[in-house]
Structure 1
Amino acid sequence: MSKSPGHQKWPDHKVQEKRLDQPVQVSINGEVIADSSNVIQVDEDQHPPRYYFPRSDVGMDKLERSDTVTKCPFKGTAHYYHLKLGGQVLEDAVWTYEEPYEEHHALKDRLAFDDDKFPEIHIALEPKA
């Protein structure tokens, strides 16, 4: 694991992680795809909040690995999944950092859903008890 080149080059760019103390669900047309009380919210400058779920709390049977790979100078290399639900396929709707930079090691192997690109993906935070 190495240091993030993005944080070194742009030290004022914020990528902040926080563990949520409330359940979070991801659903499409009422079908729950992910449900967890172990979610990390990432707030990054110029991006909407993202929610990273442990794989154990995601319906992995609904995901199919994509060939798409992108690089984030702050978090690392992202690998993508297509989300398959019934006859619907949302291409590259989910991503993961399998070897994130050390500043974001907590995101390792977690999954995030692109609810910005796909409005049919609904992410709901349950109220705190």
Structure 2
Amino acid sequence: MKAVWNDTIIAESNNTKIVENNHYFPQEDIKKEYFKSSNEHSRCPWKGKASYYHIEVNGQTNENAAWYYPEASYAAKPIENHVAFWKGVKVTE
């Protein structure tokens, strides 16, 4: 699977995990040079507290376009520290 934003591959993996129709990429399969930490957080009732990344490609920023669970709940442990996308990031094979 590939995650693409602004015509650039920002993550690529053969080991994504699908939860609620989102592909979660292992941290080692994201291209870290495009990811900047965000202070944004949200809470999922069953997965726990999510943290976010801004994505920066070719001088453009997509704020809070990636999220992950640094300390996922027991039920969501398989996706702990895996990264998922939204806000126009295309995930394709």
Equivalent residue in structure 2 for 1:38, among 15, 18, 21: 15
Q: Relative contact order (C-alpha < 8 Å, sep 6+): which is higher?
A: 2
Q: Take 1:29 and 1:107, find their aligned partners in 2: how far apart are those partners?
A: 26
Structure with the larger strand share: 2
Q: Are 1:124 and 2:79 an aligned pair?
A: no
Report SS of the residue matched to 1:123. strand
CA RMSD of aligned residues (A): 0.9
Aligned pair count?
93
Unaligned runs of 5+ in 2: none
Q: Can you give the 5+ residue segments of structure 1 that lack an aligned partner in the other structure?
A: 1-23, 44-48
TM-score scaled by structure 2? 0.94
TM-score after normalising by structure 1: 0.69
1:86 positional shift:
1.3
Q: Which residue of 1 aligns with 2:55?
A: 83
In the TM superposition, what are the counterparts of 1:91-102 in structure 2 within 5 Å? 91-102=63-74
User: How is 1:104-123 mapped onto 2 (pairs within 5 angstroms)?
Assistant: 104-114=76-86, 118-119=87-88, 121-123=89-91
String of CA shifts for 1:62-114, please: whole Å, max 9, x gaps.
11100001111110000011000111100000111011110110011110111
* % identical equivalent positions: 30
Instruction: Report the counterpart of residue 5 of structure 2 in structure 1.
Output: 28
Where in structure 1 do 4 or more consecutive aligned residues deviate above 4 Å? none
Q: Which of residues 26, 43, 49 in structure 2 aligns to 1:71?
A: 43
2:6–2:57 Cα contact (<8 Å) kept: no
